[in-house]
Structure 1
Amino acid sequence: MSDYSTVLPHIVVVTTGSAGDLFPFLRLGIGLRERGHKVTILAPQMHEPLVRHAGLECHPLPADPVVLDDPDLWHPRRGFGVVWRAIRDGMEAMRAFVAALPPDQPCTLLVHPLAVAHADLRRAERPDIRIVAAYLAPSNLRTVHDLPVLGPFPIPGWLPLTVRRWLWNMVESTAINPVVVPELNAIRRAQGRAPISSYMDEMYSAPDLSVTLFPEWFGARQPDWPSPLLCGDFPLYDPHPEASIAPGLVQFMRAGSAPIIVTHGTANMHAAAFFASALAAAERLGRRIVFLTAHRAHVPANLPPTAFWQDYCPLAALLPDAAALVHHGGIGTTAVALRAGTPQLVVPMAYDQFDNGERVRAMHAGLTLKANRVSVRTLADALHSLLQSPEIHIGCSAVKERLAAGAGLDAVIDAISKTVSKTGKI
C-alpha cells in the first residue's frame, strides 16, 4: 500500500517583498505544479503580471508601493520595521484566503521567511495545515557558527560563540522583537495560545520542514539551524527567458571593450547618486558601462558614448560578455553572476546583502564596498582591483564550474513534493 495520499496537497505559496523575493518561489511553484500539485501564489499585487506570465494561479495581496519611497527601507537597522509594517495588510488577506479553502483539501503553506509566523497563526485555525519555510539566503537563518557578518558589521572568526550569541540577542531584542512580538502575541492571545518571546525562535519552531534555496557550498548547514532541514540549490528564474537583448544594447556591446554592468535592485528608488558615481568611476578608468534599471530618471541624463541605459535585459544573456557586475548583493543577482563566472563588486545596503557579498568575497568571486563609503574614487579603486585580480578571475571560473556541475533544483522540488504528500507528520 502506498504511503502517499491519493490527493496531492494544494501548495499555497506565500511570498512578499521585491521581484527578487518572488522569482525563487515562482521557480518552486512551476516545479511543484509539474509534479501534479495545485499551486496558488499569494504575492504583492504589483507582481500579479509576473505570476500569471509564469502560468501560475495568482491571488494578489494588497501592497502599498509607497513603501519603496521610504529611505528607511534600506537602512541596515530600521529597514526590518518598514518591511514588517508593509506586509500587515497582505498577511491579513492571506488569513482570509486560507480560511476560505475547502476543508477536505490537504494544504501546505510554502512561505517566505517573513510569512512563517503568520502561517503558524493560520494553522492554529486549521490544524491540518503543513508549513514549509523556504530560506532564500544564509543570513535568513540565525546562527552563531558561520557568521561572517552581522548586518554591516564583520564578525571576526576568533570571536567566542558566547559573544556571538550575545550579539544576536542584542539584534533581536532591539531591532526585531519590539517590532514583531507584541503584534503576534495579541493575535495569539485571541486564539487562546501562549505568548512568544522571540520572533526568531518562532520562525525556527513553527515549520514542519525548512528548505534552503542555496547550495551547501554557498552556505553550509549549521548545527543551530532548524530541523528537519532540506538543503537546496539556487532556484534561478528568468521571467522572460525568450527575451533577446535589445538591438541598441547589442550594438553597444559589440562597439568596444567588454563593459561594466551596473544595477542596484528592482525595489531601490534611491540609486541616482550611486549611478552618477559609477559613471564617473568608469570614465576615470576609461571603461564602458551599462546601467540596468527600470527607472531612467535615476541614470545621469546626458550619457557619453561610452555609457548605455537599458530598462531590462536578462542578466544571464548579458553577463558572459561583461567585464564585471556592480550590484546591491541581492541573492538572485548574486547567483546569476556566480553562474556566469562574472567578477562582482557588491555594494550592500541592508538585509541579506552584506552576508551575500562577504561570501562572494570569501570565494574570490568578487569584492565588496560598503554603501556609505561609495564615492567616485572608492568605486574606481575597487573596480580597478576587481578587474586586475588574477585570483578573482580564477575564483569566478571555479564557482562557475561548481554551479555547472550541481544537481540543480529538481531533486529539491521532488523532495518537497514527496515530503508534503506523505500521510502523517513530516
Structure 2
Amino acid sequence: MAIGSAGDLFPMLRIALALRQRGHRISVLGPEQHRPYVLQAGLAFHGEPVDEAVLDDPRLWHPRHGFGVVWAATRGVAGALPRFVEALPVAEACVLLVHPLALPEADLCRAARPDIRVATVYLAPSNLPTVHDPLMVGPLAVPRWVPAAARRWLWRQVGERLIDPVVLPGVNRERRLRGLSPVRHALGYLLQVPDLSLALFPAWFAATQPDWPKPLLHADFPLYEPDPAASFTPALAAFLAAGEAPVVFTPGTGNRQGAAYFQCALQATLRLQRRAIFLTPHAQQVPASLPPGVLWQPYVPLARLLPECAAIVHHGGIGTTAEALRSGIAQLVVPFAHDQFDNAARVTALGAGQTLPATGLSASRLTRSLRRVLSSRALAVNCRALSSRFAPNPDIEQVCAALVNLPL
C-alpha cells in the first residue's frame, strides 16, 4: 500500500517489480492518482479516490499543521486495506508492505488474520523519530548540547500535542469496533506495529540510530523511473541544446501552492542571467509569460534531466533529493513541511547543497543563495564524490529476501 505523491509510490514499485520477478503475486493499493504509474509497471492496482482539494488546503505545507491534513486525507485510502485483505484466500500466505500512515489498518488486518506479516518502508530518516543527532523537529534544529532527557521530553510533547490528537480518535474508534484495546500513544504504537521496518536510504545519508525499531533493515535508495527509455520532448531537447546548462526549479509534484515560489524563481533567474526549467504538473502556478530562457515542463525524468543541468532548487522531498545526489549536481533545498527540513539539513551536512527555508522566501534571498550554490567549487567536488557512491543498478535483493523470509 502506497500513500502520498509519486515520490512515495516509486520506491514501492521498485520493490514490487523485484518481488514479481522472483515469482510472487503482487497487488498495489493506493490513491487513484497512482493508477497510471502502477498500470504502466504492469501490476494489479486497487485504487481509492482522494479529494484533490486537499492539495489546495493552505495548511498542507504548514510545518505544524501539515501532518494533520495528510492524515485526514489518507484515511479513506488506508481504510481500503482491511477490506482488501478480507477478500484474499485465507490459505494464501500474505505479507503487507505498507506506508507508515497505513500501519494502523495493517495492524487491524493482522488482528483478523494472525498469520499475516506486516512490513513498512521509511523513505526518509525523519519518519523514524530519534533522540540522537542530527535531530530536527520540523524546522527546529535541536543543538547537540541538549541532553537526552530533554530530547525525550521534547518528543513526548510532539506526540501528545501534535500527533495523538490527530491519530488516536479514529484509530481507537476502529479498534473498539473490533474489540481491540485502545492505543494510548500514537508514536510508540506506530513504531511497534511492523514485523519488519525497512529504512530505504543508505547509511551514509542517515546512519541507523540505537532507538530505531527492531528488526530494521537498512537499504539503499530504491530509485525507480516509470519510463527510463522515454526521450525528451522536442521543446526540451531544443532548449537544452540552445545554451548553457539550466537550473531546475521544482516544489514537488504534489505542491499546487507554488505560485509565489515560481515568481521568486523567475526573478532570481533573470537577475542571475541564467537559463531555467520550471518543473511542475500544475501549470496554473507557473507565471503566464516566460522569457525565452525559461521553459516549463509538466514532468521530466530527473534521472535523465539532472545530468544536463547546473543545479536544482527543490522542496527537499526524499525522491528528488536522492536523484539530485545521484546526478552529482548542487542543490538548493527550499523546505516547506514534513520530512523536507530533515532532508535539507542532511544535504547541507553532506556538503551537497544549501538550505533556504520557504518561510519568507523572496527573490532577493533566493538569488543570493543560488549564486553561492552555483559558484561553490567545494560543493561541486562534494557532489561528484557523493554521486560515485551510487551503484549503476542498485541491488534490492536483500530487501526482497527479508520480506519473503519473514517468519510466520
TM-score range, shorter chain: over 0.9
CA–CA distance in 2 between the matches of 1:28 and 1:165? 34
CA contact (8 A) 2:95 2:403 kept: no
Cα deviation for residue 258 of structure 1 reads 1.1
CA contact (8 A) 2:219 2:396 kept: no
Q: Supply the AA of the counterpart residue of 1:394.
A: V
Which SS does the other structure have where 1:196 is aligned?
A: coil
Which residue of structure 2 aligns with residue 414 of structure 1? Answer: 400
Structure 1, unaligned runs of 5 or more? 1-13
Matches within 5 A, 1:374-413: 374-404=361-391, 408-413=394-399
CA contact (8 A) 2:200 2:219 kept: yes
CA–CA distance in 1 between the matches of 2:405 and 2:281? 40
Which residue of structure 1 aligns with residue 221 of structure 2? Answer: 234
Q: Supply the AA of the counterpart residue of 1:415.
A: A
2:58 to 58, 71, 74: 71
Find out whether 1:361 has 2:361 as its counterpart.
Answer: no
Q: Supply the AA of the counterpart residue of 2:306.
A: L
Q: Deviations over 1:243-281 (max 9, x none)?
A: 111111111112111111111111101111100111101
CA contact (8 A) 2:32 2:49 kept: yes
Cα deviation for residue 163 of structure 1 reads 1.3
Which residue of structure 2 aligns with residue 131 of structure 1? Answer: 118
Superposition RMSD in Å: 1.3
1:149 to 131, 136, 151: 136
Which residue of structure 2 aligns with residue 214 of structure 1? Answer: 201
2:230 to 212, 224, 243: 243
Which SS does the other structure have where 1:303 is aligned?
A: coil
CA–CA distance in 1 between the matches of 2:202 and 2:114? 32
CA–CA distance in 2 between the matches of 1:16 and 1:45? 10
Cα deviation for residue 393 of structure 1 reads 0.9
Cα deviation for residue 352 of structure 1 reads 0.6
Cα deviation for residue 413 of structure 1 reads 3.0
CA–CA distance in 2 between the matches of 1:365 and 1:44? 33
CA contact (8 A) 2:118 2:196 kept: yes
1:36 to 10, 23, 30: 23
Which SS does the other structure have where 2:224 is aligned?
A: coil
CA–CA distance in 2 between the matches of 1:91 and 1:411? 27
Cα deviation for residue 404 of structure 1 reads 3.4
CA contact (8 A) 2:335 2:341 kept: yes
Aligned residues: 408
Matches within 5 A, 1:266-415: 266-404=253-391, 408-415=394-401
2:11 to 24, 32, 35: 24
Which residue of structure 2 aligns with residue 6 of structure 1? Answer: none
Cα deviation for residue 419 of structure 1 reads 2.0
1:117 to 104, 107, 131: 104
CA–CA distance in 1 between the matches of 2:180 and 2:400? 35
CA–CA distance in 1 between the matches of 2:301 and 2:179? 49
Which residue of structure 1 aligns with residue 46 of structure 2? Answer: 59
Q: Supply the AA of the counterpart residue of 2:122.
A: Y
Q: Supply the AA of the counterpart residue of 2:296.
A: W
Q: Deviations over 1:272-294 (max 9, x none)?
A: 11001111011111111111111
Which SS does the other structure have where 2:201 is aligned?
A: coil
CA–CA distance in 1 between the matches of 2:395 and 2:220? 6
Structure 2, unaligned runs of 5 or more? none
Find out whether 1:255 has 2:254 as its counterpart.
Answer: no
Q: Supply the AA of the counterpart residue of 1:328.
A: H
| Greater shift in the superposed pair: 258-267 or 411-420 | 411-420
CA–CA distance in 1 between the matches of 2:147 and 2:161? 21
CA contact (8 A) 2:277 2:297 kept: yes
Q: Deviations over 1:298-325 (max 9, x none)?
A: 1111111111111121111111121100
CA–CA distance in 2 between the matches of 1:143 and 1:149? 9
1:205 to 192, 199, 214: 192
Cα deviation for residue 378 of structure 1 reads 0.4
CA–CA distance in 1 between the matches of 2:144 and 2:397? 33
